[in-house]
Chains A and B, each alone.
Chain A
């Protein structure tokens, strides 16, 4: 009796293969979970914070067709596409919907001079220096990074905005380029441009033209974005 006390039971023979299976599956699973769970695709894309005023880009930029630069008017000249001052809202809203409750915080800001506290959606790390003007003036459309803002009721992050994502475009910019005059046309597509269709044989010819025309050779140096 006593000496069998130390013998493993028969079912324990199954432990070894089970451990082997676990040993391969679990690390793989963990690696996958980490890779997926910590990727910007998971953590960042779709980030959609609640804003102090339910401003709808869908209505303003989409249905009403207000140009992006009406509000974000520094985008062609400065690194930042500044969020507009409260004043800009009241260029129209002193006439339209001026009784709306939704405008209450804006009225308060307008009268007290205290800024609105919007929540930043597209937030690059502090060691990254992105310049809007450098991209917009060379024909990189807003839509390339921000998605179809004109269809968003509440703005969310559409792209990963990770370094690999930035570099993919810096390495192969062609398909992301267009006539700089059309950068704010978020619904733009080559097929819908009669004059472009008439002038260029194919879409790639079109992109090539604009790349050469603006002498584009996007830098992949670290110092381009990190200082």
Chain B
């Protein structure tokens, strides 16, 4: 019988994969989601109670409609303003690329900026930079929007009153020369972490001019513990570098090295290279993770154990006992304390010992080919143990290396001493270079109160933030895209930064401010950076080519300037003492109190990106929360406290308390809650306003990583949290379809199975196509056949692709209210599923990016009444905005749910958190508030149409890039002499890529021409792991997936996710 077969039934009982706890429990709310193409309310413009009001407004606007026609003019008169003197090499209307760098928390990354007619519009990784190698993370991708943020500070302010740089300089000159005469006593500088050689140089000049001045450094997300650990181990501070592609076994002790790590881009690339199992013996690395709540690294683990953050020390000690204890009786004795059954926690479970035994034997078998690493939250002693284990395993010099990190202060110690000096009245003038200590300094320092006692305070920042408002002078800072600068990458490579545009509001960089303070003869950023460069290269000549300046500026970095790695040895003298101290510092869970774990937020970092709409709307990779953070709590703890997602709680730690909403999160340890930092900011901008909860008031100098002994209490009230996880649920055949199909939608296998059946992915579904529902497209004979391959083994779920796509394709943000209604506009989403039957400890996490599949048999095209979505001959499923009349039938018929509808002119609205007529003026719904903000307009990619209200849109495979590449290739072909022309105009892989593929640090997305025999995507589509999502409905997608591989230890492995071959159920 001709048919499209049903998907295989999954495991008979329970659910193999689930998106959310609601889905696992099959609650009415989730069922409602499945019944609708867009979530509830998405189809309605307003809540029903507001409909009457709405009709009234619509009546009025209809009556006025006739006056809108402005005569029979064509379209608005446009002016052409050519250069008076066109710079050489400049071609109007084409893109140019400049290498620059972005510094985050004292570590630089190498970027390549696309500039269009003098405006930076898109950020990519610098392909030559040793850390980035062409890839970026979501934060760097979004930083271009930060520069154009209309809420950025626009004025110098003195005591809140508008002032100018001229006024400041006039004031500063006598002020600082008086200070200089006093030897600089009373002058304190508080800088954010920076590796900039120029800042270092200015610092040296400052201490020469003001010998008694004090320099402090503070960063809320810092590496204090790592450095302290290396001092314990080696006697001086070192930074550890890991080479993941040389490691077979990786153990992460609360370290999120795939996301919350300064070299996460490099780590991801190398980690994934060690995982593809495409080498001859099909080997891949194995990742063990111990952490309290899901991190991105935990989501990619082969074995993950949720433990309290405090208990990670116990795990570290037990590993050390198994591996490093031998041969050192005293240390062994000290570490033995951690192994006793007296530990009455989850760790007493015999399964934990089984896991640790397996881990230890894995490590022992892969000496010199393993990595053990600890996260920044863990105390110094844990880092010490990690250094010891790596040394014992012979990893140092192979997978782990060290570079010295001199004159790096302890950040907490540094700001504590500043706070003490302020309290003692020793601080006369405080210059704050970037950073926002009033908001994010440890709570027990009472920084805001103490700042008031300082006579003169100067704050340089991008926004008029919490600190600016308390300072005498607020100075506006130039964005990194607006200023000259330099920095060092994670490996020490000197990375240069050049401005892409004049400062939009007249900001200045920290080095320029320091020049004013010191009274340096150089005042321009360029000159200062140039001087530092000359000093560091030892060439005193300032000519453009001297010392390789021009080369370095062009490349974006100084080749060969990375730090030389060393292999220091761990000092053995006091190892047992450190182990004892770790033991005495550890306290078991008491069952009543709860542990607070402070985490860097995936989207807003430490809060500095809080006013960035792209990042606020980016769903967190694990929680899928947008526009908010929350108290992440395990399902069992929530059940015990009778809490549900959205309920309010009061967290109390000592005398400090914070009220916040709870989000129930699978995989969270019951004894701890995860608190993402960086939200709850007030008064800095329209995007950040009211987003989430500020957990900094709970964070003190002795609990920067985590705080034990906190309490949690339910309070009245609830808060609406918006999670995108259930949006766009792939609903194929009623509610059950989703569940049943998931093993075929996300196909995975353990490495052993892959070795036995390399073609396992093909057999996960039993598919026979005997007859098509409609006449199939023949795309044979086309010049090009664009296709994409997404490797699920490689994808970590970091979501850089989502932001890259948003930047490239002028995708608007819609605001919390609209996301709640399922109207987010992201063209590519990352689906996240939990696996297993236990919400407390999911077996694994599945991450799956889903863009438009560009089906050859596209269901959307069959139902469009106006042919607004059709195929082009290269196989693109194109969306013609001008034809679209907004029926949304296409989205209804799209099995992948990748189409997005413009309910409003989102670009012309400031997104609102709360919608409805109770919160916003009616005009918000009926007409655009304004034209697009001219600043935001400058960020638009001019090669992509800005869509208006009422039209559908979706992934185009970056058709603008395809067109550009095709035109370039064809022009070159035509210019070639006929005799030398190749038979076919090809667009090779290195000439074309999509924004998502370009940004991806895991190299998971590959795009190209399937007709080109040399293309990577063509080869990948023939790879044994390749499968198409929902291929049983015969859509013939051009985007295909490579099935996920996991590598759990066979001895511990749970049965593979789904049976290797499932029979199709009988059907009529």
Where the two chains meet, the residues of A that have a C-beta atom closer than 8 Å to any C-beta of B are 37-38, 43-44, 47, 49, 74, 77-80, 82-87, 109-110, 112-120, 123, 125-127, 129, 131, 133-134, 137-138, 180, 213-215, 219, 221-224, 226-227
Contacts and interface: CB of A to CB of B under 8 A. Distances in A.
B80 interface: yes
A164 B92 CA distance: 28
Contacts of A138: 974
Interface in B938-987: 943-946, 956, 959-960, 962-963, 967, 970-971, 973-975, 978, 985
A146 B956 CA distance: 32
B971 A78 contact: no
Contacts, number: 131
A87 B84 contact: yes
Nearest to A52: B79
B92 A78 contact: yes
A119 to B, nearest CB: 6
A129 B963 contact: yes
Contact of B84 (A78, A85, A226): A85
B878 A114 contact: no
B880 A125 contact: no
Interface string B57-95: 000000000000000101101111111111000011110
Contacts of A133: 967, 971
A134 B967 contact: yes
Contacts of A80: 92-93
Contact of B82 (A44, A85, A180): A85
Contacts of B85: 85-87, 113
Given A84-B82, A86-B84, A116-B84, 4 more contacts: A78-B92, A129-B943, A214-B974, A227-B963
B80 A83 contact: yes
Nearest to A79: B93
Q: Report the 4 A-B pairs with minimum CB-CB distance, sorted nearest first.
A: A221-B872, A115-B81, A80-B93, A85-B86
Given A79-B93, A224-B963, A120 B80 contact: yes
Contacts of A126: 945-946
Contacts of B960: 129, 227
A47 B881 contact: no
A221 B962 CA distance: 13
A115 B118 CA distance: 15
B876 A37 contact: no
Contacts of A43: 72, 74
5 contacts: A74-B91, A82-B91, A118-B79, A133-B967, A223-B876
A125 B946 CA distance: 12
Given A133-B967, A222-B880, A226-B880, A110 B84 contact: yes
B92 A82 contact: yes
A82 B94 CA distance: 11
B974 A137 contact: yes
Nearest to A132: B93
Contact of A227 (B79, B81, B956): B956
B873 A74 contact: no
B970 to A, nearest CB: 7
Contacts of A226: 878, 880-882, 945
B72 A37 contact: yes
A134 B970 contact: yes
A223 B881 CA distance: 11
Nearest to A131: B967
Given A87-B84, A109-B84, A127-B945, A47 B967 contact: no
B84 A113 contact: yes
B443 interface: no
Contacts of B962: 223
A219 to B, nearest CB: 7
Interface of B: 72, 74-75, 77-86, 91-94, 870, 872-874, 876, 878, 880-882, 943-946, 956, 959-960, 962-963, 967, 970-971, 973-975, 978, 985
Contacts of A85: 82-86
Given A82-B91, A123-B78, A137-B974, A221 B84 contact: no
Contacts of B83: 85-87, 115
Contacts of B945: 126-127, 226-227
Contact of B78 (A77, A82, A120): A120
A59 to B, nearest CB: 20
A227 B959 contact: yes
A82 B93 contact: yes
A87 to B, nearest CB: 5
B82 A115 contact: yes
Contacts of A214: 974
B971 A137 contact: yes
B186 to A, nearest CB: 46
A102 to B, nearest CB: 18
Contact of A123 (B75, B874, B956): B75
B74 A44 contact: yes
Nearest to B94: A78
Most buried by B among A38, A83, A222, A224: A222
Contacts of B82: 82-86, 115-116, 118
A115 B81 CA distance: 5
A211 to B, nearest CB: 12
A78 B89 CA distance: 12
Contact of B944 (A115, A131, A227): A227
Contacts of B872: 219, 221-224
Given A47-B74, A125-B75, A137 B975 contact: yes
A116 B81 contact: yes
Contacts of A129: 943, 960, 963
A112 B93 CA distance: 23
B555 to A, nearest CB: 25
Counting chain A CB atoms within 10 Å of each CB, which of B881, B944, B945, B985 scores highest? Answer: B945
Contacts of B971: 77, 133-134, 137
A43 B92 CA distance: 29
Contact of A74 (B80, B84, B92, B943): B92
B84 A119 contact: no
Nearest to A108: B84
A115 B86 CA distance: 10
A117 B79 contact: yes
A49 B77 contact: yes
B74 A78 contact: no
A195 B669 CA distance: 85
Contacts of A44: 74
Contacts of B77: 49, 119-120
Contact of A120 (B79, B963, B970): B79
A177 B80 CA distance: 29
Contacts of A109: 84
A67 to B, nearest CB: 18
Given A137-B971, A221-B873, A223-B872, A79 B94 contact: yes
Nearest to A136: B971
Nearest to B947: A127
A48 B716 CA distance: 70
B686 to A, nearest CB: 27
Contacts of A78: 91-94
B100 to A, nearest CB: 24
A80 B944 CA distance: 16
Determine which residue in B78, B959, B974 has the highest number of CB atoms from chain A within 10 A of its CB, and name it. Answer: B974
A192 to B, nearest CB: 25
A85 B960 CA distance: 27
Contacts of A213: 978
Contacts of A125: 75
A116 B82 CA distance: 7
Contacts of A127: 881-882, 945
Nearest to B870: A222
B963 A223 contact: yes
A26 B77 CA distance: 34
A87 B79 CA distance: 19
B156 to A, nearest CB: 27
B880 A114 contact: no
Contacts of B94: 74, 78-79
Contacts of A114: 84
